Homo-oligomer: A and B are copies of this chain.
């Protein structure tokens, strides 16, 4: 049998007016997004209910919601697991991210005013601070916030939830990159993106975003390293 592995999940406070289901969803989503649960780990209603201190019902709804966003996977036996990964699927996810996010960025460009630009610059500073402190969880969160703010500048935008679904599917592998992210001295392309926004240069923005995404997964290095990561995660 597999080791139980005690499920180290970041619990937040439940705000007023938030239903239990919504809170459970947010907690589990954050855990997946930040790679706190390894691929292949199976999740049961009663175990999570115990860990989060609620009845199985809200867990059920939250797990189902995450499953339909492909953050989790319902297997044939109805067991719910964090999806496993293949090198080809990983590549598809990255390429789809690039296609969808450059699309969203370009269509948001006309709506970006000075207020939004300032907030983007502010978030970019937060990312640098978090990275300097080697705070992985915070770096990921702020990085997502940067992209999210950019795309939602378009008030008619419909693609964010598609994009977030891709983030969720790649999430479990962000943890595996923790060790390598330092040695590789990864730097993002947000400065180039901001510059492109200031000049209202759609082509430059497209280039910046696609480079940002592609280089963000450069820690993978070679297909061999990715394959090693996948094998590693499959042990549990």
Residues of chain B within 8 A (CB-CB) of A70 are 158, 161
With an 8 A cutoff between CB atoms, is A141 at the interface? no
Question: Which of A161-198 touch B at CB < 8 Å?
Answer: 161-162, 165-166, 169
Stretch from A61-69, A117-125, A212-220 at the B interface: A61-69
| Distance of A157 Cα from B103 Cα, bound (Å) | 19
Give me the interface of A with B, judged by CB distance under 8 Å.
61, 64-65, 68-70, 86, 88-89, 91-93, 95-96, 99-100, 103, 107, 154-159, 161-162, 165-166, 169
Residues of chain B within 8 A (CB-CB) of A158 are 70, 89, 92-93, 96, 166, 169
| Distance of A166 Cα from B163 Cα, bound (Å) | 13
| Distance of A91 Cα from B165 Cα, bound (Å) | 22
CB distance from A155 to the nearest CB of B (A): 8
Residues of chain B within 8 A (CB-CB) of A68 are 65, 68-69
A69, A86, A88, A159 — most chain B CB neighbours (10 Å)? A159
Known: A89-B156, A95-B107. 19 other contacts (CB 8 A): A61-B64, A64-B64, A64-B65, A65-B65, A65-B68, A68-B69, A70-B158, A86-B156, A88-B156, A92-B107, A92-B154, A92-B156, A92-B157, A92-B159, A93-B158, A96-B100, A99-B103, A100-B162, A162-B166
